[in-house]
């Protein structure tokens, strides 16, 4: 599953790139037109791509980018590149869970100093894990964004040409479901995602991935639950000795 940040990034990026192409192609665009929305803007409030025709169309930008041969290849490369970091985070997470389990099962049997030391160890490792996870997520999102932006820059004129050639006057992005996105209901007949992917693949020199390869999915670093020491369990009563 792609991250929410990727969806927002793709929506804003494609609007910025396509808007620039649309303004260049249209002679009716006034000078000093307003700039595309900032990256902080929501997808729902972003403007739509317009053409000179009368047809209404939709496109799932996220699927279009990740559905291209180039997108599948590059996201798979990124996934493999980040595997060592993901394995490292998993090892840290497993260690944390082991220490937490130790505290839950043996905490009531430890003396005060030993228990405090174990709690401190968990807290320190938790903070280290949280920092490493956040850094890994930011690194992944940045590299993911670079891939998306590169593909979108090349995809923008393809979308604009398709819209113009096929008589579309309005094109909406369906990457975000309503109410976060602008589209409440859309039919498959008006969706141009697949034609855009096919047009992009035909123009690029990137071959299709092997048939046995699954579509790459961005890797999200594992997270660990906060180290919250559980309450000590009462010691079970000793069994009654058998009667003589």
Could you tell me if residue 152 is inside a domain?
yes
Nearest to 62 by CA among 112, 10, 21, 120: 10
**Is pLDDT above 90 for 147?**
yes
Could you tell me if residue 142 is inside a domain?
yes
- Report CA torsion sign: 159, 161, 166, 167: positive
The string of pLDDT tens digits covering residues 78-136 is: 999 999 999 999 999 999 999 999 999 988 888 999 999 999 999 999 999 999 999 99
Could you tell me if residue 228 is inside a domain?
no
Q: What is the pLDDT of residue 51?
A: 62
Q: What is the pLDDT of residue 211?
A: 67
Could you tell me if residue 229 is inside a domain?
no
Question: Which pLDDT band, with edges at 50, 70 and 90, does 227 fall under?
Answer: very low
Could you tell me if residue 59 is inside a domain?
yes
| Average pLDDT along the chain | 75
Q: What is the pLDDT of residue 210?
A: 82
Task: Give the domain range for residue 198.
Answer: 4-27+39-203
Q: What is the pLDDT of residue 49?
A: 55
Could you tell me if residue 209 is inside a domain?
no
188 DSSP 8-state letter: G
Question: Which pLDDT band, with edges at 50, 70 and 90, does 159 fall under?
Answer: very high
Q: Name the residue with higher pLDDT: 33 or 59.
A: 59
**144 neighbors 218 (Cβ within 8 angstroms):** yes
**69 neighbors 41 (Cβ within 8 angstroms):** no
Q: What is the pLDDT of residue 27?
A: 37
Could you tell me if residue 244 is inside a domain?
no
Could you tell me if residue 91 is inside a domain?
yes
Number of domains in the chain: 1
């Amino acid at each position: 599953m792609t991250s929410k940040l990727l969806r927002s990034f793709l929506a804003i990026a494609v609007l910025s790139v396509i808007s620039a192409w649309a303004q260049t192609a249209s002679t009716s665009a006034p000078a000093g037109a307003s700039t595309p929305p900032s990256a902080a803007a929501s997808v729902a409030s972003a403007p739509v791509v317009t053409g000179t025709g009368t047809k209404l169309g939709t496109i799932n930008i996220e699927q279009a980018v990740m559905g291209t041969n180039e997108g599948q290849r590059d996201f798979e490369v990124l996934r493999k590149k980040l595997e060592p970091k993901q394995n490292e985070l998993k090892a840290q997470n497993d260690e944390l869970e082991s220490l937490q389990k130790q505290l839950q099962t043996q905490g009531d049997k430890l003396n005060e100093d030993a228990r405090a030391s174990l709690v401190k160890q968990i807290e320190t490792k938790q903070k280290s894990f949280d920092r490493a996870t956040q850094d890994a997520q930011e690194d992944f999102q940045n590299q993911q964004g670079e891939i998306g932006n590169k593909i979108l820059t090349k995809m923008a004129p393809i979308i604009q040409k398709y819209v113009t050639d096929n008589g579309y006057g309005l094109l909406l992005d369906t990457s975000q479901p309503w109410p976060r996105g602008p589209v409440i209901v859309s039919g498959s007949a008006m969706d141009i995602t697949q034609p855009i992917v096919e047009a992009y693949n035909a123009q690029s020199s990137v071959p299709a991935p092997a048939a046995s390869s699954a579509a790459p999915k961005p890797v999200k670093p594992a997270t660990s639950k906060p180290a919250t020491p559980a309450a000590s369990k009462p010691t079970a009563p000793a069994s009654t000795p058998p009667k003589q």
